[in-house]
Structure formats: structure tokens, C-alpha cells
Amino acid sequence: MASSIPVIAIDGPTASGKGTVSQRVAQHLGFHYLDSGALYRLAALCALRAGTDLADEASVAALASGMKIRFVDGQVLLGSEDVSTAIRAEEVGNSASRIAAHPAVRTALVALQLGFRCAPGLVADGRDMGTVIFPDAGLKVFLTASAQARAQRRYKQLIDKGFPANMLDLLKDLNERDARDSNRAASPLRPAEGAHLLDTSDMTAEQAVAQVLAWHAASRSL
């Protein structure tokens, strides 16, 4: 059934700045925020902890559908444990990208994602927000940046969170992750039809936020 609750879908490759831009846009508009990547990271964390083979699609999907997740005041809770930092480790991100290629894992997370669409609106950030999960989004943005700019952003993010990081390893990981996310058969990373492309390599987060807000305002006045 069509929903009248507005959605802004912001998709793009790893470390393109989607998270920062999406959260600020949501804050500015008073909208809810869905970090769909966190759901794949949570499923990966559960699989790693359980020692499940990441290639075992049915077992990982079963873990994903059984997760007790809550997002509270910027914290990500798995059961009663705060895993906000644990899910940001590179190993978890890489594992997330591997399990995200399994259609059954993606299906297991659909209802959870749709449940975030609440009044007054939602900003959803991911790989397939505009193509698969919210194809009726009123505004679709595909955020990119050069591999070098993205590796630098990821480096800073990891160091700020106290994780070890190395630029060359990050660039390699990033290119591998882009290739895996773009070439998989299930919901591959690609701009949705009608998406606005935004290359943020030489932009500040504020400039990117201002552009998305301007597109949103224009889409509302149509």
C-alpha cells in the first residue's frame, strides 16, 4: 500500500559521507533516520560471534531475522548490549558486505527497514533505499566521492573511534567492497531511476546537506 509519509533515500558507496549527510538532513527536518548499513553490520557481528560460516546463507538469514535491535539516542543496542562501536570495525564492515550479497539475508531485513517509515518522515541511508526498499521515495540521492577522498574519510572515522587504520589497506578494502556491492545479483549498488547524483569529493558536509535540503524543498513544491 502506498504511504504518504515522505522518504528521502540516500544511497552510495562505502565512506561516501552518506551517514553524516543523512543524519544532518534528518535532524534539520525533524525526520527519523534509518542507517540500513548498521542492520547488515549487526547481522555480520552476530554471525562472527556465533562462528557461523558467512557463506551459509540460511544460517545467517536466521540470525538476521532473530536479532533484537534497538536504536536509542544514537546508540545501537543488540539485546541490552551497546554495540555502537563494535559494529564499526572494518572486519564487521567487510563481513557485512559479504552477507549482504545473500538474497535471504536481505529479505530477512526488509520488514525491519519498512518499519522506520513513521511520521513526519524518514531519511534512509544505504545501497538500495531508492531502488528496492523505498522505490516511491519523493527524493532519491546517489552520493559519491573519489576513492581517495573516501579512504581519507574512513581513516579519520576509524582513528577517531580508536581503531587501528592504514590508508593503503583501506583503499584496497574500499575497492573490493565497491566491486562486491556493485556486482552482486541481489539489490546491487546503483543509482535509482531519477536519483540526483552528488559528488562530494570537494564538498564539505554542510554543502552536501544544503544541496539535499534544496532538492527536498524543490520536490515538495512540485
- Nearer to ligand CDP by Cβ, of 27 and 183: the residue is 183
> Do 141 and 9 form a contact (C-beta atoms < 8 A)?
yes
- Nearer to ligand CDP by Cβ, of 15 and 137: the residue is 15
Q: How far is CA 174 from CA 93, 145, 177, in A?
A: 10, 12, 5
Residue span 100-139 as binding mask against ligand CDP, x where in contact by CB under 6 A, dash where not: x-------------------------xxx-----------
144 binds ligand CDP per the rule CB under 6 A: no
37 binds ligand CDP per the rule CB under 6 A: yes
- Nearer to ligand CDP by Cβ, of 15 and 209: the residue is 15
In whole angstroms, what is the distance from residue 199 CA to residue 203 CA? Answer: 8
Q: Which of 10, 96, 137, 158 binds ligand CDP (CB under 6 A)?
A: 96
In whole angstroms, what is the distance from residue 137 CA to residue 201 CA? Answer: 25
> Do 118 and 6 form a contact (C-beta atoms < 8 A)?
no
- Nearer to ligand CDP by Cβ, of 168 and 222: the residue is 168
200 binds ligand CDP per the rule CB under 6 A: no
| Closest alpha carbon to 21 in 176, 29, 109, 38 | 29
In whole angstroms, what is the distance from residue 201 CA to residue 24 CA? Answer: 18
Binding residues (CB under 6 A) for ligand CDP: these are 14-15, 36-37, 40-41, 93, 96-97, 100, 126-128, 177, 181
